[in-house]
Structure 1
Amino acid sequence: MTERRRRYIRMYALVWFVLAVAGDIGLALGPTPPFQASDLASSQSTVIKILAVIAWPVFSAVVATIAFTLFGNRVAPHEGDIDPGKLRGDSRPQIAWISASIVIVLSLAVYGTVALASDQPGAGISTTSASLRQPASPSDPLEVQVIAQQWWFTYRYPTYGGVETPQLVIPVGQKIQFHVTSLDVVHSFWFYALGVKADAVPLNDNVFTVTPTQTGTYRVQCSELCGLWHGNMNADDAMVVSSSDFAAWIQQQQAMDAPILKYLPAYSHTYEPNPPAYGT
């Protein structure tokens, strides 16, 4: 190996190291999506950060290798072609690269499996019967039903008499058990800030559990193409509030819904698709 080639290798190795370290520091200290407004969103953010920190050095190494190949192997016109006899393979980089890839992939597989097993945000399709129930204690999950239909969401609170509202309001610090269903076509309930994304399928009850950790006003939207006005199926008024504010709000909703509550269908985890006869 010529001195010129060694110099190129050292230079590109140094550039790669600086870029890898600087990038990883920026990724580790900087914000990552989604907003960490729930336990689930924080877990997702941590996974994204870990993947980004691992991927950045690999990406920068690939770019550095391409740059070295383009510039480090240049031959001046007067030097002529390289003698094929001087080209030699080196198994050490190949072994190192393959070994590192195996270790990274297996480590991520183990981490991902453990994270999924510990989070368990989605309970899949529920077959349990639905009923109205007394207000839960702060330690019990608060059940909130998400009803999708073209082209909006409504929300029912079985804990509070089955009251139905067009606005989602939930208390901070309490486990929320979303029951997501649809009245017509397939939708998808996406509460980005909480890291919740659950398909809404007619005659199916999709259960998703999350604990909000930050108060605020957030956006919910449909993320499944559901017809002509799919792009307008969103709302920027979903709120995570304190327990006292939630108690005051739900009492207000119960009072407003009292005159029409008897006309609503009995609370159920699913409903027969019949939009003209349903809703507030």
Structure 2
Amino acid sequence: MSETKLFDVIIIGGSYAGLSAAMSLGRSLRTILVIDNGKPCNIQTPHSHNFLTQDGSSPSEISTLAKNQVEKYQTIDFYDGKAILARKTDFGFEITTENREKFNSKKLIVATGIVDQVPDIKGFKESWGISLIYCPYCHGYEFKGKKTGIIANGDRGFHIISLVNNLTKDLTIFTQGKAIFNDQQHEKLKKNNIQIIETEIKELKHQNGMVESLILSDGKVLNFDVIYGPSPFTQQSDIAESLGCEMTEMGHIKIDQFQKTNITGLFACGDNSSAMRSVANAVYTGNAAGAMVNAELVSDCF
């Protein structure tokens, strides 16, 4: 592969969103380079759910199948590595990898995903994505009716609580400090017999990532089958922001309804630009980004 080649599109990130965008563009005979370092954020998650035809498959099974299908399109190339720098040029974009290789393209799609900021509490990292989960839609059904703890507080926490309450009635909330629910929220929690515990969690005891109990800072031990944890995140890559992309208050790349950022020729898709975090949504936004980029390429040269 020639570094001096001008690709129609470079896609940074080769998981669900990036591969979906690549397929959409490859089917329009666009020359594509997908740059990916093979480190998705869900690498520890054993099963993926709520995605038609792949419900219950492992994330790696889905991405492997996807890549095998995308590789059949001859105008799509892959680069195994990490993109670390990007700059705007007269022709589009120049991307530099960690090995100091440079690649050029007319358009750029950033599908780099996010990094979960798991609390620095013993046992959390090892259980993340297994029985310490964050999304009722992705994993809640598999733990329906189980003894469930939720680490949550405030309005966002209350929203998750209301969703999980539909899956189990054995529910306890850990606010990790003073509860900040309003009077109406407190009333609803009481009505649904949901206990609030403000004492901080010291440790999560588990076996191979499966929750057994929580140890609180006061020494109390409480048994649970599953914990919904907080999901603060950082961007997997700072490339979009370094190019001047606007960010949302939550920390996502800001896009319009066509997956466009505020930077001409730069699009974003997947978890880095959407609060709807799921395989299905990543595939959808990647497909949409591919179609919108192709429409711009058509407009530029037709």
The TM-score range, normalised by the shorter chain, is under 0.3
Larger proportion of helix? 1
- Higher RCO (CA < 8 A, seq sep 6+): 2
The alignment's TM-score, normalised by the length of structure 2, stands at: 0.21
TM-score computed with the length of structure 1 as normaliser: 0.22
The structure whose residues are more often strand, as a share, is 2
